[in-house]
Amino acid sequence: MKTLKATQIKAYKNIIIAVSVLIPVVVGALFRIRIPGNLSFLPPIYAGFNGVTAILLIAALISIRRKKIELHRKLIRFSLLLSILFLICYVAYHLTSDPTYFGDSNKDGMLSSYEKAVAGNSRNIYTILLASHIILSMAVVPLVLFAYLNAWAGDFEKHKKIVRFAFPIWLYVAITGVMVYWLISPYYA
């Protein structure tokens, strides 16, 4: 893989910082916007992207431990592509759909005290998983992008230091993305 010049590395670092700040801001703002459309088919697709990403990340770890560097590189690139596709589908779905509430068994877009009581502790488990998923998904973006940049630049020591944190967080985000979908899916309208 071709190494980068210092000026290129600096430019990419600035882009990574901007993207890492912009993604959560834009996603948060988009939740206040609704456009016409029906993209209700997207949640199982983007949950699938998360599931495949988790499998690919484990395969990438195995491949690098077996010194299969080119395979590792391809698996990580595919994982990045799936994560980008996830983000696009996630935003598109939420732009066109009202929020879904865990426990909203009558699917009226509101949670009654009865529905909350029926959902019970499973609602707390869902909320904890969702909150950790969201927070760590914001944290993982710069970690993954800086790890990738360091590998691209040929600085494998920095790459390894970042990956120690980035890998488990990315894997957790991918797995909990599937779990969150699985838990909320009965309540989609």
The CATH code of the domain that includes 20 is 1.20.120
For residue 24, being part of any structural domain is answered with yes
Q: State which residues form the domain around 130.
A: 6-187
Residue 1: inside a domain:
no
- Give 27's contacts (C-beta < 8 A, 6+ positions apart): 87, 90, 91, 94
Q: Is the pTM of this model over 0.85?
A: yes
pLDDT in tens, the chain (189 residues): 566 788 898 999 999 999 999 999 988 887 788 899 999 999 999 999 999 999 999 999 999 999 999 999 999 999 999 999 999 999 999 999 988 999 999 999 899 999 999 999 999 999 999 999 999 999 999 999 999 999 999 999 999 999 999 999 999 999 999 999 999 999 987
Q: How many CB atoms lie within 10 A of CB 95?
A: 15
Q: Distance (Å, rounded) from C-alpha 152 to C-alpha 138?
A: 22
- How many domains does one find in the chain? 1
Residue 35 lies in a domain: yes
> Is residue 31 in a domain?
yes
Whether 159 is covered by a domain: the verdict is yes
User: HEC states along 136-173?
Assistant: HHHHHHHHHHHHHHHHHCCCHHHHHHHHHHHHHHHHHH
